[in-house]
Amino acid sequence: MTTLHTHTASSDCQHLLSQLNDYADGELSAQLCQELEAHLAHCENCSIVLDTLHKTIYLVRHLNSTPPPHIPLSVENRLFAILDLQDFLDQGSD
Protein backbone atom coordinates (compact mmCIF):
# COMPACT_ATOMS: atom_id res chain seq x y z
CA MET A 1 0.00 0.00 0.00
CA THR A 2 1.31 3.41 -0.90
CA THR A 3 1.35 6.44 1.31
CA LEU A 4 0.36 9.86 0.08
CA HIS A 5 2.85 12.47 1.16
CA THR A 6 1.99 15.99 2.01
CA HIS A 7 3.82 18.51 -0.06
CA THR A 8 5.47 21.11 2.13
CA ALA A 9 6.39 23.52 -0.62
CA SER A 10 9.31 25.86 -0.29
CA SER A 11 8.87 29.40 -1.56
CA ASP A 12 10.84 28.28 -4.63
CA CYS A 13 8.38 25.48 -5.25
CA GLN A 14 5.42 27.75 -4.71
CA HIS A 15 6.74 30.34 -7.14
CA LEU A 16 7.60 27.80 -9.81
CA LEU A 17 4.44 25.76 -9.42
CA SER A 18 2.46 28.83 -10.43
CA GLN A 19 4.29 28.61 -13.77
CA LEU A 20 3.56 24.93 -14.38
CA ASN A 21 0.47 25.61 -16.42
CA ASP A 22 2.30 27.78 -18.92
CA TYR A 23 5.16 25.30 -18.94
CA ALA A 24 2.82 22.39 -19.66
CA ASP A 25 1.26 24.41 -22.50
CA GLY A 26 4.65 25.41 -23.91
CA GLU A 27 3.90 29.08 -23.24
CA LEU A 28 6.60 29.83 -20.69
CA SER A 29 9.42 32.23 -21.59
CA ALA A 30 12.83 30.69 -22.25
CA GLN A 31 14.29 32.21 -19.12
CA LEU A 32 11.54 30.92 -16.84
CA CYS A 33 11.74 27.54 -18.57
CA GLN A 34 15.42 27.33 -17.66
CA GLU A 35 14.68 28.37 -14.10
CA LEU A 36 11.89 25.80 -13.78
CA GLU A 37 13.91 22.99 -15.33
CA ALA A 38 16.83 23.71 -13.02
CA HIS A 39 14.44 23.47 -10.06
CA LEU A 40 12.83 20.28 -11.36
CA ALA A 41 16.23 18.64 -11.70
CA HIS A 42 16.68 18.60 -7.93
CA CYS A 43 13.09 18.76 -6.62
CA GLU A 44 11.47 15.34 -6.79
CA ASN A 45 8.13 16.57 -5.48
CA CYS A 46 7.75 19.21 -8.16
CA SER A 47 8.81 16.69 -10.81
CA ILE A 48 6.04 14.36 -9.68
CA VAL A 49 3.52 17.18 -9.71
CA LEU A 50 4.55 18.14 -13.24
CA ASP A 51 4.42 14.53 -14.46
CA THR A 52 0.98 13.90 -12.97
CA LEU A 53 -0.24 17.27 -14.23
CA HIS A 54 0.83 16.25 -17.74
CA LYS A 55 -1.04 12.98 -17.31
CA THR A 56 -4.13 14.87 -16.13
CA ILE A 57 -4.04 17.05 -19.23
CA TYR A 58 -3.46 14.01 -21.43
CA LEU A 59 -6.45 12.22 -19.88
CA VAL A 60 -8.75 15.17 -20.42
CA ARG A 61 -7.69 15.55 -24.04
CA HIS A 62 -8.23 11.85 -24.55
CA LEU A 63 -11.70 12.14 -23.02
CA ASN A 64 -12.51 14.80 -25.56
CA SER A 65 -11.40 12.62 -28.45
CA THR A 66 -13.63 9.70 -27.52
CA PRO A 67 -17.29 9.62 -28.53
CA PRO A 68 -19.66 10.72 -25.76
CA PRO A 69 -21.87 8.12 -24.10
CA HIS A 70 -25.32 7.66 -25.60
CA ILE A 71 -27.90 10.24 -24.73
CA PRO A 72 -30.61 8.76 -22.47
CA LEU A 73 -33.53 7.56 -24.59
CA SER A 74 -36.10 9.55 -22.60
CA VAL A 75 -34.06 12.74 -23.09
CA GLU A 76 -33.77 12.06 -26.80
CA ASN A 77 -37.50 11.36 -27.07
CA ARG A 78 -38.37 14.67 -25.44
CA LEU A 79 -35.90 16.51 -27.67
CA PHE A 80 -37.45 15.06 -30.82
CA ALA A 81 -40.93 15.78 -29.46
CA ILE A 82 -40.23 19.43 -28.68
CA LEU A 83 -39.10 19.91 -32.28
CA ASP A 84 -42.14 18.01 -33.53
CA LEU A 85 -39.99 15.22 -34.93
CA GLN A 86 -41.27 12.31 -32.89
CA ASP A 87 -42.31 10.47 -36.03
CA PHE A 88 -38.59 9.89 -36.69
CA LEU A 89 -38.09 8.01 -33.45
CA ASP A 90 -38.29 4.27 -32.88
CA GLN A 91 -36.55 2.80 -35.92
CA GLY A 92 -34.04 5.60 -35.86
CA SER A 93 -33.40 5.17 -32.14
CA ASP A 94 -31.35 2.59 -30.26
End-to-end Cα spacing for the chain: 44
Which residues ranging from 45 to 84 are in contact with other proteins (CB under 8 A)? 45, 48-49, 51-53, 55-57, 59-64, 66-71, 75-76, 78-80, 82-84
Query: Of 18, 26, 31, 42, which one interacts with other proteins (CB under 8 A)?
Result: 18
C-alpha pair distances (Å), 37 with each of 1, 12, 40, 80: 31, 12, 5, 54
Contact 81, 75 (CB under 8 A): no
Selection from 55, 57, 41, 45 nearest residue 17 by Cα:
45
CB-nearer residue toward other proteins: 4 or 30? 4
DSSP 87: G
CB-nearer residue toward other proteins: 38 or 88? 88
Point out which residues bind other proteins (CB under 8 A).
1-7, 9, 13-14, 17-18, 20-22, 24, 45, 48-49, 51-53, 55-57, 59-64, 66-71, 75-76, 78-80, 82-85, 87-92
